[in-house]
Amino acid sequence: METIFTGKTVEDAVAAGLEALSLTREDVDVVVLEEGKKRLFGSVPAKVQITVKEKLTDGQRAVRFLEGLLPLLGANATPTLAGEDEKILIELKSEGAKGVIGRRGEIIDAIQILAGAVANTGRRDYKRVVVDCGNYREEREETLKRVAEKLAAKAVRLGKRVRLEPMNPYERRIIHSALAESEEVYTKSEGKEPARYVVIIPKNLKSDDRKRDRNKGRDGKDKKGGRKERTGKYGSDRKKPYEKRELPTETVPESSGTTFTRSGTPGFRKGGFSGFFGTFLGNESDEETPATPAPDKPEEE
């Protein structure tokens, strides 16, 4: 619906058009046909063309986006909106479904991610978007359930963890749901996107594997920083004992300066003279040390 409105200025023309249509500025597209001009005698009014925007639902907006995306990908498919209640379901109708789905659903999963981003633009709460082609999603879900039950039985039989191939969040959710009520195993996701995977863990897990499983975080790495387990003669939990060495007996060092006796008066400790610079006052002993005679002087000639 296109309508032309006039006014003294462009703003006046737009305001007159919005009032006549009972709409807001966000609901219309405005094209200025003529700017208002003032002349010597009189003036030329401004003229604008107002077009009401087409209101699309979230699912319709995603379908409109895929109509422009699929030709760019070289996919000969037509998207149609199949449902928009609890989730947005978009069907891709194509003669060559394999070219649209891709190996293990890589292409159709990428299309679904983009469609979900477009459909949830401007929404506060996320709404799930599913893009399907040739009933691929239902068949893939049944296949994943069979694989989950088969690998769960293997994990119980061996008493070990079983790791599945990396999957997207939608397929990992199917594995978790398929084994949620199992009394023999439980599941958890490890790793980082896009290589995040599901691990099936039996409740009869062996002691060594149980200890290793407790030390791993949600990303599958060791909680202690990813250190590898050391192996050797003394194992990973025992340290190599060191030989005891006898320390030398401590002796009282000889003093080289003034010390204090028990009476509190300064004195000198026996044991020799080492490194003290000053005036030598003699030995502490009461006995006098005989002086060494001086050598005789040579007789003068």
Q: What digits encode the pLDDT tens for the residues 252-270?
A: 555 444 444 445 545 545 5
Torsion from C-alpha of 291, 294, 295, 296, nearest 10 degrees: -120
Q: Within the chain, how many helices (H) and strands (E) appear?
A: 7, 13
H/E stretch holding 11 reads helix 10-21
170 phi and psi angles, rounded to 5 deg: -65, -45
pLDDT of res. 59: 93
The pLDDT of residue 291 is 47
Q: What is the pLDDT of residue 269?
A: 52
Residue 259: C-alpha distances to residues 170, 203, 262, 263 (Å):
85, 76, 10, 11
- Collapsing DSSP states into helix, strand and coil, what is residue 33? strand
CB neighbours of 240 closer than 8 A, spacing ≥ 6? 233, 234
Question: What is the rounded CA–CA span in Å between residue 111 and residue 73?
Answer: 10
In this structure, what is the dihedral angle of CA atoms 93, 97, 103, 108, given to the nearest 10 degrees?
0
The CB density around residue 53, as the number of other CB atoms within 10 Å, is 11
SS (H, E, C) 111-150: HHHHHHHHHCCCCCCCCCEEEECCCHHHHHHHHHHHHHHH
**How high is the pLDDT of residue 280?**
42
State the pTM of this model: 0.55
Residue 20, token pair as written in the block: 């006549």
Write down the pLDDT at residue 181. 93
HSE-up (13 A, CA, CB side) for residue 26: 1
Would you say 21 and 28 are in contact if contact means Cβ atoms under 8 Å apart? Answer: yes
Distance of alpha carbon 49 from alpha carbon 220, whole angstroms: 61
3-class secondary structure, 236: coil
Residues of the chain with pLDDT under 50: 228-229, 234, 236, 255-262, 265, 268, 273-292, 297-301
Q: Which among 63, 89, 88 has a CA at the least distance from the CA of 77?
A: 63
